[in-house]
């Protein structure tokens, strides 16, 4: 008997629990999803891409008890990281696989709880950080 190969062209359903996929093969969900995916990420358009590798950078001095990291893709394999600690924010530039470079450190009015509640808005090349303020009377 010849070897058969089934090629699935779309994984738009994403990754589901193996119990759900195996128990209800009659659902359309079964045809669009996958039960296990190692080192891959399924995108909304149905394609699968390889998960980027994890890198260890031990030479960066992060803010004391860093709580929040916001990444911002700059293009051309450049990424900006905003790392929030206690009343401090660090701007770190990562270019490709090179070691990250701390560009500048800023003092902020945000404590740990407030840094976790920051809202992010991106418009074109601008990044806006907003926190909801409470007004006490």
Q: Which residues are CB-neighbours of 10 under 8 A, at least 6 positions away?
A: 32, 46, 47
Q: Name residue, tokens 């759900």.
A: 20
Per the CB < 8 A criterion, the answer to whether 22 and 35 are in contact is yes
pLDDT digits (tens, 9 = 90+) for 70-109: 888 888 888 888 888 888 888 999 888 788 888 999 898 8
- Once rounded to an integer, what is the mean pLDDT over residues 28-54? 72
Q: Name residue, tokens 């589901």.
A: 16
DSSP E strand stretches across 6-85: 14-15, 33-34, 40-42, 48-50, 68-75, 78-85
pLDDT digits (tens, 9 = 90+) for 51-70: 777 777 777 777 777 888 88
Distances (CA, A) of 119 to 88, 100, 116, 137: 17, 25, 9, 25
Domain segments of the chain: what residues?
A: 14-50, 68-130
Residue 32 is encoded by which pair of tokens? 């669009």
Write down the pTM of the prediction: 0.56
């Amino acid at each position: 008997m010849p070897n058969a190969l089934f090629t699935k062209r779309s994984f738009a359903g994403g990754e589901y629990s193996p119990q759900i996929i195996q128990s209800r093969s009659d659902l359309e969900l079964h045809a669009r999803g996958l039960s296990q995916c190692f080192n891959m990420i399924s995108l909304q358009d149905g394609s699968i891409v390889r998960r980027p590798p994890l890198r260890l950078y031990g030479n960066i001095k992060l803010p004391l008890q860093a709580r929040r990291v916001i990444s911002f893709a700059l293009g051309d394999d450049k990424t900006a990281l905003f790392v929030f600690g206690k009343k401090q924010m660090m701007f770190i530039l990562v270019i490709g696989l090179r070691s990250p470079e701390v560009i500048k450190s800023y003092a902020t009015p945000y404590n740990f709880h407030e840094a976790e509640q920051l809202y992010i808005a991106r418009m074109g090349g601008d990044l806006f950080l907003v926190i909801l303020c409470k007004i006490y009377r």
